[in-house]
Amino acid sequence: MALALSLALLALLAVVLVASRPKRRYRLPPGPPADPLIAHLRYIPTENQGTVFHKWAQTHGDVISVRALGRTLVVLDTVKAATDLLERRSGNYSDRPAFPIYSLLEFEPNTVTMPYGTQFRKHRKILHSNFTRDACSQLHDVQLTMARKLATSLIATPADYSRLISWFTTALTLKVSYGLDVSEDDELVKTAEEVGHVINNSGPPGGTPVDMFPFLKYMPSWFPGTHYANFAREHIPIIRKLYDLPLQKVQEDLANGIAGPSLAASELNRLSRTGPISEEDIRDVKGVTMVIFAAGAETTWSTMLIFILAIVTHPEVQKTAQEEIDRVVGRERLPDFSDSNSLPYTECVVQEVLRWFPVVPLGVPHRCMEDDIYNDMFIPKGATVIANSRGMSLDERVYANPKDFNPARYLPRPEGNGEPFFESAFGFGRRICPGRHLAYNSLWVIIATLLATCDISKALDEEGREINVEPKFLYGIVSRPKNFPCRIQSRDDKATTLLSELAE
């Protein structure tokens, strides 16, 4: 009895000692020095944020934090940190912070920015079922035909390269999302261009004065800090037009029995089989198709502009890729998807375009749903968490001379460095881009087609001298190169003949 009592007292003493031991205090991830009261408010950059955050990470560590006005921003600067949190702990990091400007724009429902929950899972289910790798292979013929049309147009009017590429990406996503065929001057193409302008001039997501001080959205237009709120309200009609007009066309075509295959038609047909389609269902179909259309067109356009810029500034890459295509495909036909596995250097060109300047340099912010500890660092509930894609692309531990455009880096040794493909371009975890297979296929086929049929080079001035181009960018949620001059010509008569024969 005495022994049992002694053991019980010892156990109780052990519990008390453990409970009374000072708890380990975890700190926020490190970051640059902060000011009193306003913390890092003065230091958070408004442009080229990804590169600035990467420089801070090189000093303070792969996971950093900055604070302003009671809010915490955690920046993940490596693939490992992003994978550990956004994928392996996706249940805690699949939410989104509030985006007041997008709400003011009435840019909703929006799969990309909506909070994690039942509606998000519904949208993701629709997208995943329509854009699996196998489902996207059914779109190869459409992508191939449009890529060849684009090559023909670029050779005919090379000065309009940016506008023509914009038309290509818009027309392709309209075809996939709504089954609609559009010309370069179609109303929907113009509407899409206006929406792209609105999105890229609505301020950094989560980083405008209205995001930091939500009361500003209720203040009059003359009040300081209300610019983005006013801009959003002024452009509501153009956003709603892009939500409503294309789906209205699909509904009319379905009623007349002439609708082509598309995500919208597929979903409307599926819903109609279970009874009348509710307004909520219509809103969800609009949200899903709008995201594929708006996000897909803008990012693919920007990525193709980066490809043109890369080839203008690195002519040796074009020469190597053309030699590979000529050797594998020959000059009697143009490359198609059946050649993809036989053109490793061409695939490396596509991958390097994605890495060299990621078009969504900070991804779309995540939100931590519950307090978390990562590598002895405290990440508080409600923190905004960013996967710094730009920082990952510049990681010297992964990519040798990361600022160089070098497709051979991915080839196995001894031809290259055996470096990993840059898969971070499409995001992480449950928020990974659902249209990534479609986007990659579009990039591959147009890049392969342009390399096979065109010579892209520096523009010439009035005296016949080459005009040097320095990469400069416009920054928004989607970044793209500033306008630059270039020459786009047919490689030779054989390429011109092939394109004209396929157009007949």
pLDDT per residue as tens digits for the range 379-433: 999 999 999 999 999 999 999 999 999 999 999 999 999 999 999 999 999 999 9
Instruction: Write down the pLDDT at residue 23.
Output: 47
Report yes or no on 206 lying in a domain: yes
Q: Output the domain CATH number for residue 485.
A: 1.10.630.10
CA angle 351/298/161 to nearest 5° reads: 80
Residue 239: HSE in the Cβ half-sphere, 13 Å Cα cutoff: 23
Instruction: Tell me, yes or no, whether 8 lies in a domain.
Output: no
Q: What would the two tokens of residue 406 be? A: 């070098």
In a domain, 32, yes or no: yes
Percent of the chain with pLDDT over 90: 65
CB-count burial class (<10 Å; 0-12, 13-18, 19+) for 219:
middle
State pLDDT tens for residues 144-155: 999 999 999 999
Omega within 30 of 0 (cis) for the link into 158: no
Higher pLDDT, 271 or 47: 271
Alpha helices for 21-93 (secondary structure H)? 49-60, 79-82, 90-93
Does any domain span residue 166? yes
In the three-class reduction of DSSP (H, G, I as helix; E, B as strand; rest coil), residue 366 is classed as strand
| Predicted local distance difference test score (pLDDT) of residue 504 | 58
pLDDT class of 5 with cuts at 50, 70, 90: very low
Highest mean pLDDT among 39-53, 195-209, 417-431: 417-431
- Domain span holding position 44: 25-503
Confidence band for 160, pLDDT divided at 50, 70 and 90 = very high
pLDDT averaged over every residue in the chain: 89
* Region of poorest pLDDT, from 3-7, 160-164, 295-299, 404-408: 3-7
Q: What value does the mean pLDDT take over residues 34-54?
A: 86
Among 79, 81, 117, 69, CA closest to 96: 117
User: Taking a C-beta distance cutoff of 8 angstroms, is the pair 366, 96 a contact?
Assistant: yes
Q: Do the beta carbons of residue 177 and residue 264 sit within 8 Å?
A: yes
Angle between helices 344-356 and 436-453 (to 10 degrees): 120
127-136 residue pLDDT tens: 988 889 998 9
Whole-angstrom distance, CA of residue 33 vs CA of residue 26 = 18
Q: Which pLDDT score, from 0 to 100, does residue 145 have?
A: 93
Predicted confidence (pLDDT) per residue in 64-82, tens digit: 999 987 889 999 999 999 9
Rounded to whole angstroms, how far apart are CA atoms 34 and 74? Answer: 15
Residue 141's Cα: distance from chain center in Å? 24
Structure tokens at 500: 């004209």
- Looking at 6-20, 88-102, 305-319, which range is the least confident one? 6-20
State pLDDT tens for residues 442-461.
999 999 999 999 999 999 99
In whole angstroms, give the CA distance from residue 342 to residue 198. 41
Q: Considering the domain boundaries, does residue 56 fall inside one?
A: yes
Residue 351 and residue 340 in contact, taking contact as beta carbons nearer than 8 Å: no
Higher pLDDT among residues 242 and 356, named by residue: 356
* Tokens encoding 232: 């959003």
How high is the pLDDT of residue 22?
Answer: 44
CB atoms within 10 A of CB 105: 25
- List b or e across 135-145, with b for residues whose CB sees 16 or more CB atoms inside 10 angstroms: ebeebeebbbe
For residue 108, being part of any structural domain is answered with yes
For residue 345, is it within any domain? Answer: yes
In a domain, 1, yes or no: no
Q: What are phi and psi of 62, to 5 degrees?
A: -70, -20
Number of domains, the chain: 1
Please state at what angle helix 315-328 crosses helix 344-356, rounded to 10 degrees.
150
Task: Please say if the pLDDT value at position 206 is more than 70.
Answer: no
Q: Does pLDDT of 9 surpass 50?
A: no
